[in-house]
Amino acid sequence: MTNKEIIITAAITGSFGDKLKNAYLPVTPKEIAEHAIKANGAGAAIAHIHVRDPETAEPSMELSLYREVVDRIRDECDMIINLTTGAGARIVPDNGEVVGFAAGTTWSSPEKRTEHIVALKPELCSLDVGSVNFGTRVFANIIPHVEKMAKIILEAGVKPELEVFEMGHIEIAKHLIQNKLINGTPLFQLCLGIPWGISGEVKNLLMMKEALPQGSLWGGFGIARNSFPMATHTALLGGNIRVGFEDNYYLDPGIPAKDNAMLVAKAVSILELLGLKAATTNIARQTLGLND
């Protein structure tokens, strides 16, 4: 890949938000897969996948749901599938004098959080390397759990995308690399603007980029109204970009997108205005070393 070909990831549906905020939010495996396939046609080389309970629309860790989404995508196109392992990291405290876990807590073992990775062997999966206050909850990724997950992912032959929400997370990622829990060229995703992680400012994007191990592959994204500005700055700095309903529902202020493909198409247009272009799936595989 030259520095003029930028990989676009479509983050299809996250673990927050519902159809009250955007009626087009994909919930069922069929809807999630259809959004991914259409996003691929619009220029996204990678689909980042969460799954939801089809009845409640709440986040799910159900293997059968992941399997259906993966099978549907693989039957229709050759885009790269990136499955989340972020599910199972949520802590909601109760109000006890000795604090315990309240309803909504999903904190799970490393084995449970990577069950679908071992079973389905996507080409990529996310690996959140550190903890962060995430809105009113705690997104818990303690070092022993992260190390165990990295080991399981390595043994499954899947390339992890190292998700970093603040500067200290980069140091944790370096620890994993030094301990040979990451194989090949490391791949980072710089996550900016998530409350209460590092804020979505260009100076922070540049600072995180400069702190990465030399030669790393990387991309970045912002959320909500900062999604497309951050995509623009990331591309100008030579990084890959991510857009999608997980991060932002709106095509323009006050104008909700009807599907992920519309957000991808806007990202492609931005790249073209900058004299860049979206990488094909084949080029993305070569760049990420997925054919090795």
What's the confidence (pLDDT) of residue 2?
44
What's the confidence (pLDDT) of residue 292?
64
Lowest-confidence segment of 12-21, 30-39, 174-183, 199-208 by average pLDDT: 12-21
CA 163 remoteness from chain centre: 7
What's the confidence (pLDDT) of residue 135?
77
pLDDT over 60 (residue 56): yes
Alpha-carbon distance of 142 to 128, in angstroms, equals: 10
Structure tokens at 62: 């159900």
pLDDT digits (tens, 9 = 90+) for 96-131: 888 899 988 899 999 999 999 999 999 999 999 999
pLDDT over 80 (residue 283): yes
Provide, rounded to the nearest whole percent, the portion of the chain with pLDDT above 70. 99
pLDDT range class, residue 1, cuts 50, 70, 90: very low
CATH number of the structural domain spanning residue 52: 3.20.20.70
Three-state SS for 186-243 is: CEEEEECCCCCCCCCCHHHHHHHHHHCCCCCEEEEECCHHHHHHHHHHHHHCCCEEEE
Q: What is the mean pLDDT of residues 43-63?
A: 96
Alpha-carbon distance of 214 to 73, in angstroms, equals: 34
pLDDT over 80 (residue 250): yes
Structure tokens at 110: 């490393």
Instruction: Supply angle C-alpha 275, 280, 285, rounded to 5.
Output: 125
3-state secondary structure of 245: coil
For residue 176, give the amino acid letter. Answer: L
List the alpha helices (DSSP H) in 77-160. Answer: 110-113, 115-120, 143-155
CA atoms within 13 A on the CB side of 101: 11
pLDDT range class, residue 95, cuts 50, 70, 90: confident
pLDDT range class, residue 3, cuts 50, 70, 90: low
pLDDT over 60 (residue 46): yes
Q: Which domain holds residue 264?
A: 5-288
Count: domains in the chain = 1
* Mean pLDDT estimate for the chain: 95
